[in-house]
Amino acid sequence: MKNDDFIEVEGVVTECLKGGKFQIKLDSGQDILAYLSGRMKKFRIRVLLGDRVKVQLTPYDLTLGRIIFRSK
């Protein structure tokens, strides 16, 4: 998929799960499951409870996303 095909949304980390997965509460009120992108793993960017994150979603599955950016 091209980068234009993804949907980017913002939310807050509500729970840290095993295996590098996170429960995210989106600004729209929806709860999704998300994992860290490869670049965030490579540079060891930590994501903690309460962090504001930007998530990429595919149009095929709107319940699973990839965390691409973290802001405090």
Express each pLDDT in 40-60 by its tens digit.
Answer: 999 999 999 999 999 999 999
Please provide the size of the chain in residues.
72
Q: Are 39 and 25 in contact (CB under 8 A)?
A: no
What pLDDT shows up at residue 36?
96
Q: Are 27 and 59 in contact (CB under 8 A)?
A: no
What pLDDT shows up at residue 72?
75
Q: Give the CA-trace dihedral at 34, 43, 5, 30, to 10 degrees.
A: 20
What pLDDT shows up at residue 4?
76
Cα–Cα distances (Å) from 33 to 2, 17, 64, in that order, read 22, 9, 5
What pLDDT shows up at residue 3?
73
